[in-house]
Amino acid sequence: MKRALLSVSDKTGLVDFAKGLVENDYELISTGGTLKTLQEAGIAAKSITEITHFPEILDGRVKTLHPAVHAALLAKRENADHMATLKELDITPIDLVAVNLYPFKETASNPNATYDQAIENIDIGGPSMIRSAAKNAKDVLVLVDPADYAAVLTAISADEITDDLRRTLQAKAFRHTAAYDALIASYLSKTAFPEKLTLTYEKDFDLRYGENPHQKAAVYANSIPTPYSILQAKILHGKKLSYNNIKDADAALRTILEFNRKPTVVTLKHMNPAGIGQADTIETAWDKAFAADDISIFGGIVVANREIDLATATKMHAIFLEIIIAPSFTPEAFDMLAKKKNLRLLSLPIADKLPKEIEVTSVLGGAVAQEMDDVVEEDADLEVVSEKQPTAEQISALIFAQKAVKHVKSNAILVATDGQTLGIGAGQPNRIDSVKIAIAHAETKPDSANAVLASDAFFPMDDSVSFAASKGITAIVEPGGSIKDKDSIAMANKLGVVLVFSHRRHFRH
């Protein structure tokens, strides 16, 4: 008769699995609440204390940390010395272990949980048993996921326990304990950039493909969910998001957070804002965002920070969009938009600010990590360096443009009036080309008079100021900090343009 040790926090499928093991001539050993569950189901099982001949102590903190358990797991069956030692010490080998761990994640995710409660939910004996069993996977089946119970029972019943199955379960077991330890390490870390960066994510779903059809891809979410995340949005209508949808939607959500004070709509394409509109109503905000770039928005993403009403939905329905994200939709608006089978409608409460997370980006052979760029400039952060002073309307437009330009790929230039983007130049190898692209777009708009310009980084040459002024730009905001700042200031003074320094760069690559 073989022996199985069952000690699980998650009791899903436990009783049926235990019955299946008994039917296949396994003797069961169990602990604490697992043993009680089995006994209540009428399943015979020995207490771990019958194996260790040592009581569970310290409120259950010590129960399986015993040679009678770990020797039974770690002994190599083909090693005569190992088996002789077990016989001498009257230790029976354990052939299967089903263990899942104390709910540390659930406890740490609870904002009301105390430090002591979290620490008490750090499992010690469970990971030790899993690691012992997984190390000796050639002789011991190790299960950490109830989803594997049925397949393992089928293999046992058919006497088809293959090396491939053992190694699959072995790898899953070590991933399980590694993720568990990473969660604990993250919870306890006092610094954002520790000497070892331990990250753990849980697979959400497979994607049809990645950025391109020939690339395989999948979605992983933080093990402790981030509330304001595209991965937490509710899909009210339409199919699952694609790889590019998720990246674009994430960029759109980051952008909309800059504009919480008034109804705002952001349209986005390929990780860059196409248009941003802000007004007293969400319908007018949509009108402004759409007018800002009515070409790039085709097949793009829209995010609004207020409920979508029927009037706004009717206008959105008239064009091809991939995704609309909003806190909610009126029933009439939803019915209108849901007529389009391929349009995804997502609801997500728009947060007040970005969550405090570290951004991690992979590079070949490693990763770079940084704090999020969550700084929002206000009027008091700006320094007027030109002779000409800005009007109140220009200051308001400059702040609007400054909030928007930080979400455009560098080199980033954005032309705007107060509450509406007019032209965006993104990702050019040199800044003057971005200036020319942004202004060329803005010149096609009827409301471009008295437009202002924002730059994500300083002007290393005065040519950007000169070109902008020649095209009617009345005010410019840039970080300053170039060794040629004096040249740009002199050019602004010569041409009668307002020049304002923000003293903060907003590169986004």
Active-site positions?
A: 135, 270
Quickly tell me which residue has 């003293």 as its tokens.
503
Radius of gyration of the chain (CA): 30
DSSP states of 158-170: TT---HHHHHHHH
* Bond into 245 cis (ω within 30): no
CA distance from start to end of the chain: 62
Residues 6+ away with beta carbon under 8 Å from 246: 219, 230, 231
Map residue 188 onto helix, strand or coil.
Answer: helix
What's the CA gap between 399 and 395, in Å, rounded?
Answer: 6
What's the CA gap between 253 and 112, in Å, rounded?
Answer: 27
> How many other C-beta atoms lie within 10 A of the C-beta of residue 368?
9
What's the CA gap between 429 and 433, in Å, rounded?
Answer: 8
Map residue 380 onto helix, strand or coil.
Answer: helix
What's the CA gap between 408 and 213, in Å, rounded?
Answer: 26
| CA distances from residue 62 to 49, 126, 283, 346, 390 in whole angstroms, order as listed | 11, 11, 63, 48, 71
**Which tokens hold the place of 428?**
């050019």
Residues 6+ away with beta carbon under 8 Å from 62: 56, 125
For 64-76, letters b (16+ CB in 10 Å) and e give bebebbbbbbbbe
DSSP structural state of residue 366: E
What's the CA gap between 469 and 388, in Å, rounded?
Answer: 13
> How many other C-beta atoms lie within 10 A of the C-beta of residue 136?
23
35 in Cβ contact with 167 (< 8 Å): no
Q: How many CA atoms lie within 13 A of 171 on its CB side?
A: 5
**Which tokens hold the place of 273?**
């804002």
Residues 6+ away with beta carbon under 8 Å from 494: none
